[in-house]
Structure 1
């Protein structure tokens, strides 16, 4: 609620993002009222009172690469009848697993992959257009690459955003951006949808999307689809939210790809002024995330080995 009010004062009313305060020389107040010291103190005390009252302030559970694999395997193997016919309400009630068809599921998986690997908010990913991406083969290594240039992000609303370069991932097809982009582009062509405007389109019926370039998928529609998709693979959707991909991407890069924290901050856009250092920690560790290891096994010399590293093949915990 405070963020919404700050945005309203800052953008719509033109008060900016400077803290609210009194000018000693003129006696006039200026800045954003929602960013005053009084409001900040109130928010801190409010959180303390909520904790004392027994209410846990938690964030969305991170999506793991294992969950991404389950979603990918379910969606890619979903039966496709090759038609774009609508589904009756009776059939939807009798077969809730058919809330979406093969084409919509492939579009959703591309959205999952881009949000997770680029550490994007879902609202940012939904605004990606075909003109924001460039697919090419690198001159030096002859690797297939997708370059994503975002014109807008929450913390960079006036542009100047560093591009994202994504490469093929043959070892993890469920997280391969080249495969996901190519499959959705091919499906769009087969549906005779022009590769212009928004990439992630508004749903039409059970397995169709809007042909209008300006019809992007809504935030509410994505949330409903994402939760239905989790139910498909027998995962309770209640702990998850749209921030699950951003948090899951941080944990994937840190614990699976073993990126240094500095690289994650730079890649995700947290290294601009380092004024939100606590954000990266909250993304990497939260009580809502499933524990990776039982406590009695931390120093157990015979605990189960980890999954093989894609680069060196090691399975030991010190890899």
Structure 2
């Protein structure tokens, strides 16, 4: 059904804008009985087909589930500490054919340079709640450093097709080093020695952005390093996890999160709930402990480290 929706939207745009048929419903001309006018994709037949397809999906028991969220208290620090281990963080000279013998070294799918690149992309996508392609299109001139942080000016954003993208002000996070985008970006720039062009470039081709497919492959490899099944994780996992981090751990109100991410403040749909709650995510607490006064919450405040219910 999701694929059919994308095809429907694409063809509606093609007939409406590229062919100049507009968005009028498909109907028979009042002047000429054999002539049809309007957009054929905006018709009763197509709408009925999409509705029936949706009903078939629901009857089959399919549920729209978003990607599993990357959490700031488990998955993210595990990847951070694994990548920062001396043997994984060291930048070594390229040795062709090193992993072709099927030995234990075959698990070394990336060196310290790639690990720095990934961690920088992780932190930006997580804190700014961005799509992977939005992160991978960032160029060096989009970053403006100041004494305690940087200003990120995105070149484009899916929710702002006509521009007017608000900048992201990122600050140093000394108490949460694994989430600090400033340190991660600085370490990547120093290691890669990139002076111009895209911040995240292909490793074999200069000044070409890393593709979302390649980024997802590297991300899945990183999850396998820490013993996590990557099948339920995707490029939306950072966006999803960043939203939960800001709402649950940082206790930001919803309108602050929407303003930070550049989302609509009209709250006319449940897209926000989709990223706040997912069947893929692990429950932070069991329901039998919701009113239990003797049970400490499983999530602590990242700043004051309190775990009491009133924290």
Shorter-chain TM band? 0.7 to 0.9
| Alignment match, 2:301 | 309
Distance 1:160 1:81, change over 3 A: closer
Whether contact under 8 Å (2:216, 2:235) holds in the other structure is yes
Q: Deviations over 1:129-172 (max 9, x none)?
A: 111111112xxxxxx12111112111212211111111111111
* Partner Cα distance (1:265, 1:199) in 2: 26
| Alignment match, 1:159 | 163
| Alignment match, 2:38 | 29
Q: Note the C-alpha offset of 1:306.
A: 4.2
Q: 1:126 aligns with which of 110, 129, 136?
A: 136
Whether contact under 8 Å (2:296, 2:307) holds in the other structure is no
Q: 1:3 aligns with which of 6, 19, 27?
A: 6
* Partner Cα distance (1:40, 1:148) in 2: 42
Report the number of matched residues: 299
| Alignment match, 2:225 | 232
Worse overlay, 53-62 or 286-295: 53-62
Q: 2:175 aligns with which of 154, 171, 174?
A: 171
Q: Note the C-alpha offset of 1:127.
A: 0.8
| Alignment match, 1:202 | 202
Superposed, which structure 2 residues align to 1:294-305 within 5 Å? 294-305=286-297
| Alignment match, 1:101 | 111
Q: Note the C-alpha offset of 1:90.
A: 1.7
Whether contact under 8 Å (2:11, 2:41) holds in the other structure is no
Aligned-residue CA RMSD in angstroms? 2.8
Structure 1: tracts of 5 or more residues without a match: 138-143, 205-209
Whether contact under 8 Å (1:116, 1:249) holds in the other structure is yes
* Partner Cα distance (1:286, 1:186) in 2: 38
Superposed, which structure 2 residues align to 1:1-319 within 5 Å? 1=3, 2-3=5-6, 5-7=8-10, 10=13, 14=18, 19-21=23-25, 28-30=37-39, 39=46, 42-65=49-72, 66-77=74-85, 78-80=88-90, 82-91=92-101, 94-137=104-147, 144-189=148-193, 194-204=194-204, 210=205, 212-213=206-207, 215-271=208-264, 274=266, 277-319=269-311
TM-score under structure 2 length normalisation: 0.85
Q: Tell me the SS of whatever aligns to 2:150.
A: strand
Q: Note the C-alpha offset of 1:304.
A: 2.8
TM-score under structure 1 length normalisation: 0.83
| Larger Rg belongs to | 2
